[in-house]
Amino acid sequence: MKVLVTDPILPDGIEILKKAGLEVEERTGLSPEELKEAIREADGIIIRSGTKLTAEVIEAAERLKVIARAGTGLDNVDLEAANRKGIVVMNCPGGNTNSAAEHTLAMMFALARNIPQAMTSLKAGRWERKKFMGRELMGKTLGIIGLGRIGSVVADRALGLKMHVVAYDPFVTPEQASKMGVELVSLDELYARADIITLHVPLMKETYHLINAESFAKMKEGVLLINCARGGIVDEMALYEAMKNGKVAGAALDVFEKEPPDPDHPLLKMENFVCTPHLGASTLEAQKNVALAVATQVVDFLVHGVVRNAVNMPSVSAEALKILKPYIVLAEKLGALQAQLAEGPVEEIAIEYQGEVSQLDTEPLTVALIKGLLSRALREDVNYVNAPLRARERGIKITESKTETAEDFLNLIAVRIKFKGGDNYVAGTIFGKTEPRIVQINRFRLDALPEGHMLYIHNEDRPGVIGLIGVTLGEAGLNISRMYVGQEPEKRRNVILLSVDTPPDESVVSALRNLPHVLSVKPLEL
Ligand SMILES: NC(=O)c1ccc[n+]([C@@H]2O[C@H](COP(=O)([O-])OP(=O)(O)OC[C@H]3O[C@@H](n4cnc5c(N)ncnc54)[C@H](O)[C@@H]3O)[C@@H](O)[C@H]2O)c1
Ligand SMILES: O=C(O)CC[C@@H](O)C(=O)O
């Protein structure tokens, strides 16, 4: 398998890929056209912020299975296009958190003490001590927008500088914030109170131009602004205006809406504007962390099938996968069984996890079950990434419930589906630690290994029917490897589930259907 690396990552990471037997193609600085060509044959791609994976580029990939970001931000990847193609998208959060937080602090000091400007002036032969009067950080209020990984490290370090820290983050509780020593406030209150504002939110629809002319109007006179998160969160022209009219006394940007910014960008001409070319993660430590992390994740996924830090499918660690794997297999087979039993388009799937399995992370099992069900109709167009999306697109309602105990079994996955015109119930369990079994199909209780070519037969409970079925299959050269027979006494009906070594063709199925007392025959593939 081939991994394309289109932004520089440290050799330590490349080594890990090669040692795992992956072919590595390092090609940086590609044009969009060159990227489309290079990605065509890749099984995985590793990127940083320099590569834009647009829908058009992703569409050009013919066997791509994973997009891995050596870093955090995924705003340069068209996630929807990746979802549509069933490509796993993963990042390496955490590896550059400290570096990005320290860069933010460096920017804060640079702004507060005019370090870049003073240095430029001195290097130009001037000695301007009066001009570069600074301000202390101690006692000032720092407003953090986005109290996630980086925001909280910045908060911790700022508290060490004896600053007051207020933060706005709608997804953090006041209790969580207060444990960090941070006061959670509304965005307007943050604008009103902060002497310095720093941004640590991802760039999304909701955060695009979050800082705009209206927000500057609500800020304190002489506020300092720092953005080491993503370009586009700040409306750069509004910032320019706010700096020109003195509302913002200084601003520091590590990131720009367009990278690199045009050389005549008006902010670059402002003296109180400090900037770096997207260096937040550019430390040896962070680059080593992300190179090792991204390479290990890609190897884990391409070579061992283990998914970590994926943003578009449930992530499962290697340890968890060992426990979950048999249930994933069972869930997928239950989905496939339901798809083949359904006599109309599926409208609803209700999954109940009972007993031991209810204590596990069942999200991957639900995804596997949906995949098993939809694979019958959509084949290669559905996988673990896009299965829930495909189900939603088809208007299928999915519900999941859990009960701690399972009657008669240690663990049970029960699935009822509603389709146009009826419903079906199937349930399965894991025997021992790894053996999947189907234990119920509607009211028929059984103990069947869900594997290979099977026939699901309803017949009237009369002597000789099973014999006739055996003879018909034997005459067609089909060997029965397993057979499960159950009764529905009140209707005097039998249900037979049998496994055959080779798939029965249509003539055999129709011969079985024509046998006396046989009511229905359904071939199944599990
Ligand atoms: N400059 C660099 O080189 C560099 C390096 C690393 C990360 N980053 C960027 O820094 C940003 C933060 O990274 P992180 O690892 O801390 O991410 P994170 O996911 O840990 O934290 C983001 C926080 O933002 C909050 N949030 C989301 N929407 C919000 C909104 N509308 N208002 C307020 N808060 C909101 C979330 O609840 C979360 O707590 C990302 O954009 C990332 O790409 C930049
Ligand atoms: O690739 C980089 O150096 C930038 C990384 C950073 O922006 C991130 O989001 O992790």
What's the rounded Cα separation, in Å, for the pair 183 and 192?
Answer: 14
Position 210 pLDDT exceeds 80: yes
Q: Model confidence at 235, in pLDDT bands (50, 70, 90)?
A: very high
> pTM of this prediction?
0.76
H helices present in 342-450, as ranges: 363-378, 387-393
pLDDT of residue 322: 82
ipTM of the prediction: 0.99
* Of 150, 182, 255, best ligand 1 pocket probe by most atoms within 8 Å of the beta carbon: 150
State whether residue 353 is helix, strand or coil: strand
Query: What is the Å distance from ligand 2's center to 249 Cα?
Result: 27
Closest ligand 1 atom to residue 171 Cα is 37
Q: Which of 475, 474, 469 is nearest to 512 (CA)?
A: 469
Q: Which of 335, 418, 341 is nearest to 378 (CA)?
A: 335
Query: What is the Å distance from ligand 1's center to 161 Cα?
Result: 22
What residues line ligand 1, using a CB cutoff of 6 Å? 71-73, 93, 96-97, 100, 145-151, 168-172, 200-203, 206-207, 228-230, 254-255, 278, 280-281
Q: Would strands 411-419 and 23-26 be described as parallel, antiparallel, or unpaired?
A: unpaired
Q: What is the pLDDT of residues 432-481, one digit of tens each?
A: 888 999 999 998 888 999 989 999 999 998 899 999 999 999 999 999 99
pLDDT of residue 121: 97
Angle between helices 465-475 and 506-513 in degrees, nearest 10 = 160
Query: What is the Å distance from ligand 2's center to 336 Cα?
Result: 41
Ligand found nearest the CA of 71: 2
Query: What is the Å distance from ligand 1's center to 97 Cα?
Result: 10
CA nearest ligand 1 atom 28, residue: 201
What is the identity of the amino acid at 22? Answer: L
Query: What is the Å distance from ligand 2's center to 279 Cα?
Result: 8
List 69, 103, 200, 230, catalytic entry: 230
Q: What is the pLDDT of residues 108-133, one digit of tens each?
A: 999 999 999 999 999 999 999 999 99
Query: What is the Å distance from ligand 1's center to 30 Cα?
Result: 28
Q: What is the pLDDT of residues 46-94, one digit of tens each?
A: 999 999 999 999 999 999 999 999 998 899 999 889 988 889 999 998 9
Q: Annotated catalytic, 209?
A: no
Here the tokens at position 265 are 């960008």
φ/ψ of residue 361, rounded to 5: -75, 105
| β-strand partners of 495 | 458, 486
Position 248 pLDDT exceeds 70: yes
φ/ψ of residue 165, rounded to 5: -120, 120
Closest ligand 2 atom to residue 286 Cα is 3
CA nearest ligand 1 atom 9, residue: 229
What residues line ligand 2, using a CB cutoff of 6 Å? 48-49, 71-73, 96, 278, 280-282
Closest ligand 1 atom to residue 168 Cα is 33
pLDDT of residue 380: 58
Closest ligand 2 atom to residue 279 Cα is 3
CA nearest ligand 1 atom 11, residue: 229
Closest ligand 2 atom to residue 290 Cα is 10
Provide the mean pLDDT of the chain: 94
What's the rounded Cα separation, in Å, for the pair 233 and 82?
Answer: 24
pLDDT of residue 381: 66
Query: What is the Å distance from ligand 2's center to 399 Cα?
Result: 38
Q: Would strands 223-227 and 248-253 be described as parallel, antiparallel, or unpaired?
A: parallel
Q: Model confidence at 431, in pLDDT bands (50, 70, 90)?
A: very high
Q: Annotated catalytic, 304?
A: no
List 259, 285, 393, 525, catalytic entry: 259
Q: Model confidence at 294, in pLDDT bands (50, 70, 90)?
A: very high
What's the rounded Cα separation, in Å, for the pair 449 and 431?
Answer: 10
Domains and CATH numbers, the chain: 1-94+282-312 (3.40.50.720), 97-275 (3.40.50.720), 314-442 (3.30.1330.90), 444-526 (3.30.70.260)
132: DSSP letter: T
Position 422 pLDDT exceeds 70: yes
List 69, 103, 278, 390, catalytic entry: 278
Count of CB atoms situated within 10 Å of the CB of 514: 10
Q: Model confidence at 379, in pLDDT bands (50, 70, 90)?
A: low
What's the rounded Cα separation, in Å, for the pair 78 and 74?
Answer: 8
Out of 122-136, 308-322, 363-377, 441-455, give the one with best mean pLDDT.
Answer: 122-136
